[in-house]
Amino acid sequence: MNKEILTQVNKLFKNDGIHDTFLNDVKIYTTSKFDPLSPFIYDVCLILVLQGKKIGHLGDNTLTYDSKNYLVVPTTLPLECETFASSEEPFIGLIISIDKKIMYEIIDKVSKKQELESSKNSLGVFSDTVDENIKGLTLRLLKILQSKEETNILGTNTLRELFYRVAVGENSHFLHKMFLNSNNEAKIARALKIIHTQCESNLDISNLARQEDMSVSSFHTHFKKVTSHTPLQYIKKIRLNKGKNLISLQQYLVIDAAYEMGYDSASAFSRDFKSYFGYPPKEVKPSFKEDSNIIS
């Protein structure tokens, strides 16, 4: 990103943290401290990094998103991320929730059939190159966000154009797969949403597979291709992240968070929690979040 973009975004915040804008789907996240490898749950979003760098890990896959590469998460996924920042060069990023209805409309009008057929990778997240169109739209969006009136009149259409540019990007076949209803990737995306909203329940994998007209073995195979996790591993990570939020954001006791997330005992929850986060749940401290759609 260029200096003009940094000049405009610096008008929209003063301190480290999460900053709302006049558009509900757009938030600014900034930090001046390095954040070591930490688990996150990312929902359907686009992340534009204006300064600094993040490295995301999903299984054996590594994705870098910085001023030259944006990140697209077409479905709910658990990643482990590092944030590279300093007081001299803070991390600054735009976190944009992707409007599914708008993206469906765009993808329906954009032909990517050849790329879809030739692509064997089904991973549910990808990075792509920030080209001049993306830069121009980012600058325009930042200027619009400085005025409530301009945001109300121009904001949604600017996001729509931005989503279009993402939908025709070099790696956008990943996105198309997740939004084409008949694809196995889209079926898994719908199952992920159910898991995300009902993770504390006793979810039956065979029922999830049946709802998408898939065999259990096919469901497991495609689930791991998209998420790099088995269904049970995925459910556990969602539960632990939500349990952490209950403790840090709603002051739940550890035992209450454990039962709320479907665990039979606080000790089992604490054991899994420490294995995942590297410290016990009793050491969780209040913290701000990058975004309501991103659970840390």
pLDDT per position as a tens digit, 244-295: 989 988 889 999 999 999 999 999 999 999 999 889 999 987 765 544 335 4
CB 123 within 8 A of CB 58: yes
The CB density around residue 189, as the number of other CB atoms within 10 Å, is 24
β-pairing verdict for 45-51 and 35-42:
unpaired
pLDDT at res. 42? 86
CB 212 within 8 A of CB 195: no
List the chain domain ranges.
3-178, 184-296
CB 24 within 8 A of CB 30: no
pLDDT at res. 202? 83
pLDDT per position as a tens digit, 191-203: 998 998 888 888 8
pLDDT at res. 273? 94
In the numeric block, the tokens 């694809």 are attached to 183
What mean pLDDT is reported for the chain?
88
pLDDT per position as a tens digit, 138-166: 999 999 999 999 999 999 999 999 999 99
Looking at the domain that runs over 3-178, which CATH code has it been given? 2.60.120
For residue 35, pLDDT over 80 is answered with yes
* Higher-pLDDT residue of 59, 44: 44
Residue burial 76-102, b: 16+ Cβ < 10 Å; e: rest: bbbbbbebebeeeebbbbbbbbbbeee
pLDDT per position as a tens digit, 79-119: 889 999 999 999 999 999 999 889 988 988 886 544 544 45
Identify the band that residue 122 occupies on the pLDDT scale cut at 50, 70 and 90.
low
What is the CATH T-level fold of the domain 184-296, as seen in this structure?
Arc Repressor Mutant, subunit A (1.10.10)
Written as one letter, the residue type at 70 is Y
Q: Which residues are within 8 A (CB) of 278 and not within 5 positions of it... i.e. 6 or more apart?
A: none
Q: Could you tell me what percent of the chain has a pLDDT over 70? A: 91
Written as six digits, the tokens of 243 are 């349990």
Identify the band that residue 182 occupies on the pLDDT scale cut at 50, 70 and 90.
low
For residue 55, pLDDT over 70 is answered with yes
